[in-house]
Amino acid sequence: MGTPEFPDLGKHCSVEDCRQIDFLPFTCDRCRKVFCLEHRSYTKHLCPNANQQDVTVLVCPLCAKGVHLVPDEDPNITWESHVNLDCDPSNYQKTTKKKRCPIPGCKETLTFSNTIRCRDCTKEHCLKHRFGPDHKCPGPKKPVSGFPFVGLLNRSQKRESLSKNSSNGTSWWSSSLLTAASSLRASAEAGMQRLSNATTQALQKAKDGTSPGGSGALVEQCTQCPAKFSTISALIEHAEKSHHRSTQPGCARVTIDACPICSKGFRDPVLLVEHVERDHGGSSIA
């Protein structure tokens, strides 16, 4: 065997039925024997140590971790050891429930650096499908029914056919915004008108001095005579006509002060102050 330059070149195949001389033999990394090209695989020469470097791994259905099967060991013993020592069921959700891009066929895992949230549909997508046409975005969500512009948007849907044929899209938006501004202005004017009417009524009641005891009740009595009146304005008018211009020496000029809350009249301002502090808690705000 060999040549004068390489005397150790070439060896016999270790298979008894072969024993072929091979000048470039193969050495098995398990049994360390020499074989020819035909018997170099583990199955061809029936290598007894073929499973010593076995890398078979089973995925645990409880924790989704890989369990390496030890050669020359019962798989049941290996599994039992994993369940008692390494198995953590809480890891299953972290491993299997990773957030992925919702586009069918896309297996990209969404992380902090490659996640984009669409402003219209508010869904998260990968960088490849971040644009609306790429993930078939349905558009922005419809506003809540209680929003003031719901009527405007409903009318805009009826005008979509006209807006599509229009060459200038900004004109439609301008008219829509103008219509919305007009409706808001009309509603604001109506609200201000109702507020103005309520304020006018309140001022008129305060000016007339309507008594809280009800219309028609004679609760205001003149300090100069036994006459009684239902409103403070009627009392003041009576005092001016009957007592201020009287020429009788017993009649004096009298000034009547009305309570701003209950419209009760007082001749002495001190009595009015005491009345407000005693009956209304010291506040003159109606």
pTM of whole model > 0.75?
no
**136-182 confidence digits (pLDDT tens):** 888 877 765 555 555 555 666 656 555 555 545 456 566 777 787 78
Provide φ and ψ at 71, rounded to 5°: -60, 150
Residue with tokens 């309520």: 198
Contact 261, 252 (CB under 8 A): no
Following DSSP, what letter does each residue of 1-52 receive, concatenated? Answer: ---SS-TT--EE-S-TTT--EESS-EE-TTT--EE-STT-STTTTT-TTTTT
Look up tokens 């239902």; give the residue.
230
Residue-level pLDDT at 126:
92
Mark the ranges of the chain whose per-residue pLDDT is less than 70. Answer: 1-4, 6-8, 52-54, 143-174, 202-219, 244-255, 282-286
DSSP symbol at 71: T
**Burial of 36: CB neighbours in 10 Å, binned 0-12, 13-18, 19+:** buried
pLDDT at 213: 44
Output the pLDDT for position 211. 44
Query: Distance between CA atoms of 258 and 271, rounded to whole angstroms?
Result: 11
Closest CA to 2 of 22, 29, 28, 27: 22
